Chains A and B, each alone.
Chain A
Amino acid sequence: MEKQKYSRRFFLSTSAMAATLAFIPVGVKAFYNNVKKLVIPLKEKMAIKLSINKAKYNLTVDTRTTLLDLVREQLDLTGTKKGCDHGQCGACTVHVNGQRVLSCLTLAATVQGKEVTTIEGLSQGSELHPMQQAFIECDGFQCGYCTPGQIMSAVGCVNEGHTHSVEEIKEFMSGNLCRCGAYNGIVQSIQKVAK
């Protein structure tokens, strides 16, 4: 990986400057923007190697690109959903080296050399993963938008062994929001697979 040009401290201080300047008159703000353009690295690209759903990728990515935008916008793996882009809803949950991870809070540059599994890679060929089958049977969704994230998280929940009671499942699935409120079916799907 290329040597970092700017430290975290530098980034934090410029961000703090931005926040302070938000309430300062426009002329100053414009000046700040000019400075910002000089000091914040604009577009920088780097080469990364990673594996997604067992396929090897050699990619050149914008250093600002999140894993979520990488799979959705560049690799056409749109099963992973963007629900908030802030790590608040869980719709973008994928597995990185087997752990459930929020891809919107993961810069693509940081998954160098890692194994990523998205919903597209969960099933083997045309066979559905038992969790996907359970979600269909228990009607664990309505609109389906949070569903891939719910399923990736549900697989994680079972692997982690947090399925001893309805309450425990609910607690460990509460990072995945469902505005349709299909929580009945989500819990039942997990119970079915955990048996």
Chain B
Amino acid sequence: MKRYKNPDIFEPLAMAYALGILQGRARSRFEQLMQQHLYLRATTQAYQQKLNGLVELLPSHTVPTRVWHNLEQALQLKPTKLSFWERFQTPLNWALPSLAAVLAAIVTALFLNQPNPPQAYIAALKSTQQQHQLVLAMAKHAEMKISFEMLDQYLEQQEGMVPTLWCISKNKHEPPMRLGTLEQTKQEIALNQKMWNSLETASEFAISLEPHNANMATQPQGKIILSGAVHPMGQ
């Protein structure tokens, strides 16, 4: 047994074990020794930590979704359905320089010329998926509608899902208001007076992908693909 206390013997064994090359009875014997001796366990763990860094080099392999579902069931994890506010805030990334520039310009202009009450609102909606997608939305009281302008790419489409615009209030206790759906052919949404009034307390616009039959939903059910702060404008 003394030979296993010699680092020149046990360290190569620990490395061979960590590599997986120690096989058969030699492996079983080494495992028994590890149970008895802390220094062997510690040395082996140290080499496992060092060698297993090789996993970092592996190219990723798509994991079937059933593995996660099985884990969720086995661990009885509650479905990680985030609250609306968490879903809304988590993917936001305010670092997109172009968005920052657009907003800075808009906000500066607004502060220089803002009568009361606002006659229009504008929002630059940024993709939550980091795809540098940007949509400008402008609501005008004179026209009682919101018009959209796509600045970069096409709006994300999914079969059976409709891009739906929501107005998010500054008051977090107020539920979001569904303003309508966006169509490829008609990039505007008509507003009624109640909708217009809601813009006074709006903090954000968000576009989510909703199922076709979810037009009565009072909260976004699907993925939020774009969002951005709403700014009041003068006439």
A and B from one assembly?
no
| Residues of B that sit less than 8 Å from A by CB | none
| Residues of A that sit less than 8 Å from B by CB | none
